[in-house]
Amino acid sequence: APIARAMDKKPFHIVSPLLESLSLSRAGGTRVHMKLENVQPTGSFKIRGIGHLCQEVIMQGAQALPDPPLSTGGNAGLAAAYAAKKLGLPVTVVVPSTTGPGTVRKLEELGAEVEVSGQVWDEANTRALELAETEGWVSIHPFDHPLVWQGHASLVQELKDSLDTRPDAIVLAVGGGGLLAGVVAGLRQVGWQDVPIIAAETRGAHSFHAALAAGRLVTLPHITSVAKCLGAKTVAARALECAQECQVISQVVEDTEAVRAVEQFLDDERMLVQPACGAALALLYTGRLQRLQREGRLRTPLGSVVVVVCGGASIQVAQLRALKSQLGLE
């Protein structure tokens, strides 16, 4: 059955809505379209790449069924668990101790075995690789794999199908760099490689920004940001290559700005997203687009901008309140 399901090749993600946002357009000083990845089956864009990778792994191993897949990280883990359930395969998800009980519960509801290991994503990933080695399982990396990027590239094809004209910029958040790599691959596929990408990170999870500044991969000593989903201490090498191939403008926002953006977005659009997604929204809410225009790094005037609302399944109103009080935003 799993093999038939993979051969069927119907993707696990949906074509997500693209909506114009009046409030974000007002804040950004230009027409802003939201690519709503928060309404994907698993609550984030991750299902595009992880779903594609899982299907391809099964297809390639169609003669002999591969051993249980294995993944790390919250949203990526949810995507892997969802894909494994659809394919009728067992899956183990290794998560760091910072993962909320809500996420663990969702993973278990999807039928995944959950193992908690380490404080941050990188430590959980080390444990996952150990398990893959000792148990002979298939490792599903949350962001650093060409098939993951290929899956994420579908997002840009959908933009091309929906928009009358190409956007003047795409705003997205960078954690490990998988979404960035996927969007760059997608821009190439549709002939939009000259569309600038504005990449947002929170301070304390800014491994991409640090790498760009140094001109090489940099490992942050600790992840101090509340945006744990951006918490890869080192970005994928491909993310750095993307910055050399396309115009990628890296921007760092404060945790307070990201969390304020989450709250503002909830009020404006009635959707609750994670601080990782709030980092991208904060670029619009804090007037960074206008600043980049003044600095001559973005064209003036901008015709339209797309913001990838990457979503995030592990956020509740109670957690938003806790983050606000932790950051002194009450």
- Return the bridge partners of 94, or none: 72, 115
Q: Is the alpha carbon torsion for 45, 47, 49, 50 positive or negative?
A: positive
**Domain limits of the chain?**
2-45+145-327, 46-139
Residue type, position 181, single letter: A
Q: H helices of the chain, where?
A: 2-8, 22-28, 46-60, 74-87, 101-109, 121-135, 146-152, 154-162, 178-190, 207-214, 237-245, 255-269, 275-285, 288-294, 317-326
CA distance 255 to 5: 42
Q: H helices of 153-286, where?
A: 154-162, 178-190, 207-214, 237-245, 255-269, 275-285
Tens digit of pLDDT for each residue in 211-252? 999 999 999 998 899 887 777 889 999 999 999 999 999 999
Picking from 227, 242, 141, 234, the residue whose alpha carbon sits closest to that of residue 183 is 242
Tens digit of pLDDT for each residue in 245-268? 999 999 999 999 999 999 999 999
Picking from 236, 210, 212, the residue whose alpha carbon sits closest to that of residue 223 is 210
Residue 311 carries which DSSP code? B
Q: How confident is the model at residue 7 (pLDDT cuts 50, 70, 90)?
A: low
Tens digit of pLDDT for each residue in 78-123? 999 999 999 888 889 998 888 888 889 999 999 999 999 888 788 8
Q: What is the pTM of this model?
A: 0.93
Q: 6 and 281 in contact (C-beta within 8 Å)?
A: no
Residue type, position 202, single letter: T
Residue 172 has pLDDT above 60, yes or no: yes
Whole-number pLDDT of residue 2: 55
Looking up tokens 């007002």 gives: 26
Q: Phi/psi at 170 (nearest 5 deg)?
A: -120, 125
